Amino acid sequence: MEVLAVNIRAHPAIKGLVLTRTSVPLPVLSLYADDTSVISSSDAATVAVFDTYALFEAGTGAKLNMEKYKGLWLGAWRDRVDAPVPIEWSSSELKVLGVVIANGNVDTANWRPRIEAVENCLSSWRSRSLSYSGKALVIIALALSRIWYVASLVHMPPWVLAELNSIIFKFFWSGKRDLVARNVVIHDRSKGGFNMVSIALKVNALLVQWIRPYLCSPNSWVSLMTFWFFDRFGIDP
Protein backbone atom coordinates (compact mmCIF):
# COMPACT_ATOMS: atom_id res chain seq x y z
CA MET A 1 0.00 0.00 0.00
CA GLU A 2 2.88 2.36 0.64
CA VAL A 3 4.00 2.00 -3.00
CA LEU A 4 0.51 3.06 -4.07
CA ALA A 5 0.50 5.96 -1.61
CA VAL A 6 3.89 7.22 -2.79
CA ASN A 7 2.73 7.22 -6.43
CA ILE A 8 -0.46 9.12 -5.59
CA ARG A 9 1.43 11.72 -3.57
CA ALA A 10 4.04 12.15 -6.33
CA HIS A 11 1.55 12.40 -9.22
CA PRO A 12 1.80 15.93 -10.73
CA ALA A 13 -1.95 16.10 -11.45
CA ILE A 14 -2.99 15.19 -7.88
CA LYS A 15 -2.72 18.20 -5.61
CA GLY A 16 -4.16 18.78 -2.16
CA LEU A 17 -6.19 21.72 -0.92
CA VAL A 18 -4.42 25.02 -0.29
CA LEU A 19 -5.87 26.69 2.79
CA THR A 20 -6.15 30.41 3.39
CA ARG A 21 -2.97 31.96 4.82
CA THR A 22 -0.87 28.98 3.68
CA SER A 23 1.11 28.27 0.54
CA VAL A 24 1.79 24.56 0.96
CA PRO A 25 -1.10 22.26 -0.08
CA LEU A 26 -2.43 19.66 2.33
CA PRO A 27 -1.63 16.02 1.55
CA VAL A 28 -4.20 14.52 -0.75
CA LEU A 29 -4.05 11.07 0.82
CA SER A 30 -4.76 9.66 4.29
CA LEU A 31 -4.20 5.99 5.15
CA TYR A 32 -5.30 4.12 8.27
CA ALA A 33 -5.12 0.31 8.27
CA ASP A 34 -7.14 -0.73 5.21
CA ASP A 35 -9.04 2.57 4.91
CA THR A 36 -7.95 5.16 2.37
CA SER A 37 -9.30 8.72 2.18
CA VAL A 38 -8.53 11.06 -0.71
CA ILE A 39 -9.36 14.78 -0.84
CA SER A 40 -9.43 15.98 -4.43
CA SER A 41 -9.86 19.57 -5.63
CA SER A 42 -10.32 18.90 -9.36
CA ASP A 43 -11.84 16.35 -11.70
CA ALA A 44 -8.43 15.79 -13.27
CA ALA A 45 -6.98 14.89 -9.88
CA THR A 46 -9.85 12.50 -9.13
CA VAL A 47 -9.39 10.72 -12.46
CA ALA A 48 -5.61 10.59 -11.90
CA VAL A 49 -6.14 8.90 -8.52
CA PHE A 50 -8.09 6.07 -10.11
CA ASP A 51 -5.64 5.84 -13.01
CA THR A 52 -2.90 5.33 -10.43
CA TYR A 53 -5.00 2.61 -8.81
CA ALA A 54 -5.38 0.93 -12.21
CA LEU A 55 -1.61 0.97 -12.64
CA PHE A 56 -1.21 -0.52 -9.16
CA GLU A 57 -3.72 -3.26 -10.03
CA ALA A 58 -1.81 -4.14 -13.19
CA GLY A 59 1.46 -4.39 -11.30
CA THR A 60 0.29 -6.31 -8.22
CA GLY A 61 -2.78 -8.28 -9.24
CA ALA A 62 -4.80 -6.56 -6.52
CA LYS A 63 -8.30 -5.48 -7.50
CA LEU A 64 -10.07 -2.32 -6.40
CA ASN A 65 -13.65 -2.92 -5.28
CA MET A 66 -15.46 0.06 -6.78
CA GLU A 67 -18.68 -0.84 -4.95
CA LYS A 68 -17.05 0.01 -1.61
CA TYR A 69 -15.80 3.40 -2.73
CA LYS A 70 -17.88 6.45 -1.80
CA GLY A 71 -17.46 10.12 -2.55
CA LEU A 72 -18.76 13.26 -0.86
CA TRP A 73 -19.30 16.55 -2.67
CA LEU A 74 -18.11 19.45 -0.52
CA GLY A 75 -18.13 23.22 -0.75
CA ALA A 76 -19.07 24.63 -4.15
CA TRP A 77 -19.47 21.08 -5.48
CA ARG A 78 -22.17 20.04 -3.00
CA ASP A 79 -24.93 20.12 -5.64
CA ARG A 80 -22.99 18.37 -8.40
CA VAL A 81 -24.51 15.42 -10.23
CA ASP A 82 -21.84 14.80 -12.89
CA ALA A 83 -19.40 12.31 -11.40
CA PRO A 84 -15.86 12.13 -12.85
CA VAL A 85 -15.53 8.47 -11.79
CA PRO A 86 -18.22 5.77 -11.44
CA ILE A 87 -18.48 5.45 -7.67
CA GLU A 88 -21.33 6.22 -5.26
CA TRP A 89 -21.48 9.98 -4.63
CA SER A 90 -23.38 11.90 -1.98
CA SER A 91 -24.05 15.57 -1.24
CA SER A 92 -25.29 14.88 2.29
CA GLU A 93 -22.89 12.83 4.41
CA LEU A 94 -20.14 10.23 4.45
CA LYS A 95 -18.79 8.03 7.24
CA VAL A 96 -15.00 7.89 7.63
CA LEU A 97 -13.56 5.58 10.30
CA GLY A 98 -16.88 5.54 12.12
CA VAL A 99 -17.33 9.34 12.16
CA VAL A 100 -19.86 11.08 9.93
CA ILE A 101 -18.70 14.11 7.97
CA ALA A 102 -21.13 16.25 5.99
CA ASN A 103 -21.93 19.67 4.59
CA GLY A 104 -24.38 20.40 7.40
CA ASN A 105 -24.78 19.63 11.09
CA VAL A 106 -23.69 16.09 11.97
CA ASP A 107 -24.42 16.04 15.71
CA THR A 108 -27.46 13.77 15.43
CA ALA A 109 -25.83 11.47 12.85
CA ASN A 110 -22.75 10.99 15.02
CA TRP A 111 -24.36 10.82 18.45
CA ARG A 112 -27.81 9.25 18.11
CA PRO A 113 -26.41 5.77 17.26
CA ARG A 114 -24.02 5.99 20.24
CA ILE A 115 -26.79 6.99 22.62
CA GLU A 116 -28.90 4.09 21.40
CA ALA A 117 -25.93 1.70 21.80
CA VAL A 118 -25.49 2.80 25.44
CA GLU A 119 -29.21 2.44 26.09
CA ASN A 120 -29.39 -1.02 24.50
CA CYS A 121 -26.38 -2.22 26.48
CA LEU A 122 -27.87 -1.11 29.80
CA SER A 123 -31.28 -2.54 28.88
CA SER A 124 -29.73 -5.99 28.54
CA TRP A 125 -28.43 -5.72 32.14
CA ARG A 126 -31.48 -4.08 33.69
CA SER A 127 -33.18 -7.34 34.72
CA ARG A 128 -30.13 -8.56 36.66
CA SER A 129 -29.67 -8.02 40.36
CA LEU A 130 -26.53 -5.91 40.61
CA SER A 131 -24.95 -3.99 43.46
CA TYR A 132 -24.23 -0.30 43.02
CA SER A 133 -20.60 -1.16 42.38
CA GLY A 134 -21.65 -3.73 39.79
CA LYS A 135 -23.87 -1.19 38.04
CA ALA A 136 -21.05 1.34 37.99
CA LEU A 137 -18.76 -1.28 36.44
CA VAL A 138 -21.31 -2.13 33.73
CA ILE A 139 -21.81 1.56 32.93
CA ILE A 140 -18.11 2.35 32.71
CA ALA A 141 -16.72 -0.81 31.11
CA LEU A 142 -19.55 -1.89 28.82
CA ALA A 143 -21.95 0.97 28.11
CA LEU A 144 -19.90 4.16 27.95
CA SER A 145 -17.02 2.42 26.15
CA ARG A 146 -19.20 2.87 23.06
CA ILE A 147 -18.86 6.66 23.09
CA TRP A 148 -15.25 7.45 24.01
CA TYR A 149 -13.80 7.08 20.51
CA VAL A 150 -16.26 9.54 18.99
CA ALA A 151 -16.04 11.82 22.03
CA SER A 152 -12.28 12.13 21.50
CA LEU A 153 -12.84 13.41 17.94
CA VAL A 154 -16.23 15.10 17.78
CA HIS A 155 -17.74 17.82 19.96
CA MET A 156 -20.35 16.47 22.38
CA PRO A 157 -23.37 18.84 22.39
CA PRO A 158 -25.06 19.63 25.72
CA TRP A 159 -28.18 17.67 24.75
CA VAL A 160 -26.08 14.53 24.23
CA LEU A 161 -24.40 14.91 27.63
CA ALA A 162 -27.78 15.46 29.32
CA GLU A 163 -29.33 12.44 27.62
CA LEU A 164 -26.42 10.13 28.43
CA ASN A 165 -26.42 11.21 32.08
CA SER A 166 -30.15 10.59 32.27
CA ILE A 167 -29.74 7.08 30.82
CA ILE A 168 -26.86 5.95 33.02
CA PHE A 169 -28.23 7.33 36.30
CA LYS A 170 -31.67 5.93 35.57
CA PHE A 171 -29.97 2.53 35.27
CA PHE A 172 -27.81 3.14 38.34
CA TRP A 173 -30.80 3.98 40.55
CA SER A 174 -33.08 1.34 38.95
CA GLY A 175 -35.44 3.94 37.56
CA LYS A 176 -35.97 5.68 40.91
CA ARG A 177 -35.01 9.23 41.79
CA ASP A 178 -31.38 9.87 42.64
CA LEU A 179 -30.63 9.13 46.28
CA VAL A 180 -27.20 10.78 46.20
CA ALA A 181 -26.08 13.87 44.28
CA ARG A 182 -24.41 12.99 41.00
CA ASN A 183 -21.32 15.03 41.79
CA VAL A 184 -20.88 12.78 44.84
CA VAL A 185 -21.57 9.47 43.09
CA ILE A 186 -18.56 10.00 40.81
CA HIS A 187 -16.18 10.17 43.80
CA ASP A 188 -14.16 7.30 45.21
CA ARG A 189 -15.90 5.09 47.78
CA SER A 190 -13.64 6.47 50.50
CA LYS A 191 -15.20 9.88 49.81
CA GLY A 192 -18.78 8.63 49.85
CA GLY A 193 -19.09 7.91 46.12
CA PHE A 194 -19.47 4.80 43.97
CA ASN A 195 -16.54 5.28 41.55
CA MET A 196 -18.91 6.33 38.77
CA VAL A 197 -17.42 8.19 35.84
CA SER A 198 -18.19 11.82 35.08
CA ILE A 199 -18.90 11.91 31.35
CA ALA A 200 -18.16 15.63 31.10
CA LEU A 201 -14.77 15.34 32.85
CA LYS A 202 -13.84 12.23 30.85
CA VAL A 203 -14.63 13.97 27.55
CA ASN A 204 -12.59 17.02 28.59
CA ALA A 205 -9.67 14.74 29.46
CA LEU A 206 -9.87 13.05 26.05
CA LEU A 207 -9.86 16.40 24.25
CA VAL A 208 -7.02 17.84 26.34
CA GLN A 209 -4.81 14.98 25.11
CA TRP A 210 -4.85 16.60 21.65
CA ILE A 211 -2.97 19.66 22.90
CA ARG A 212 0.45 18.01 23.03
CA PRO A 213 0.37 16.52 19.49
CA TYR A 214 -1.07 19.82 18.23
CA LEU A 215 1.95 21.69 19.62
CA CYS A 216 4.53 19.11 18.59
CA SER A 217 3.25 17.25 15.52
CA PRO A 218 4.54 18.18 12.04
CA ASN A 219 1.51 16.54 10.40
CA SER A 220 -0.80 18.46 8.09
CA TRP A 221 -3.84 18.24 10.38
CA VAL A 222 -2.18 20.91 12.52
CA SER A 223 -2.45 23.36 9.59
CA LEU A 224 -6.06 22.32 9.08
CA MET A 225 -6.93 22.91 12.74
CA THR A 226 -5.18 26.30 12.69
CA PHE A 227 -7.21 27.29 9.64
CA TRP A 228 -10.42 26.10 11.33
CA PHE A 229 -9.74 28.16 14.45
CA PHE A 230 -9.13 31.31 12.45
CA ASP A 231 -12.18 30.69 10.27
CA ARG A 232 -14.49 29.92 13.19
CA PHE A 233 -13.21 32.19 15.97
CA GLY A 234 -10.87 34.68 14.27
CA ILE A 235 -8.06 33.83 16.69
CA ASP A 236 -4.87 31.81 16.77
CA PRO A 237 -5.49 28.52 18.62
pTM of the model: 0.80
Q: Does pLDDT of 141 surpass 90?
A: yes
Query: Which of residues 236 and 140 earns the better pLDDT score?
Result: 140
Phi then psi dihedrals of residue 47, to 5 deg: -65, -40
162-179 burial code (b ≥16 CB/10 A, e <16) = ebbeebbbbbbeeeeeee
Q: What is the reported pLDDT for 65? A: 81
- Tens-digit pLDDT profile for residues 109-130: 999 999 999 999 999 999 898 9
CA-CA distance, 46 to 6, in Å (whole number)?
Answer: 16
Q: Does pLDDT of 3 surpass 90?
A: no
Q: Does pLDDT of 16 surpass 90?
A: no
Q: What is the DSSP letter of 66?
A: G
Give the N- to C-terminal CA distance of the chain in Å, as an integer: 34
Q: What is the reported pLDDT for 149? A: 94
Q: What is the reported pLDDT for 139? A: 95
> For the chain, what percent of residues have pLDDT higher than 90?
32
Query: Which of residues 104 and 219 earns the better pLDDT score?
Result: 104
Q: Does pLDDT of 219 surpass 80?
A: no
Mean pLDDT of the chain: 88
Query: Which of residues 125 and 30 earns the better pLDDT score?
Result: 125
Q: Does pLDDT of 24 surpass 80?
A: no
CA-CA distance, 19 to 227, in Å (whole number)?
Answer: 7
Q: What is the reported pLDDT for 198? A: 94
Q: What is the reported pLDDT for 172? A: 94
Confidence band (pLDDT; 50, 70, 90) for 28? Answer: confident
- Tens-digit pLDDT profile for residues 94-109: 888 888 988 888 899 9
- For CA atoms 156, 69, 223, 75, give the dihedral sign: negative
CA-CA distance, 216 to 46, in Å (whole number)?
Answer: 32
At 218, which helix (H) or strand (E)? Answer: none
Q: What is the reported pLDDT for 232? A: 77
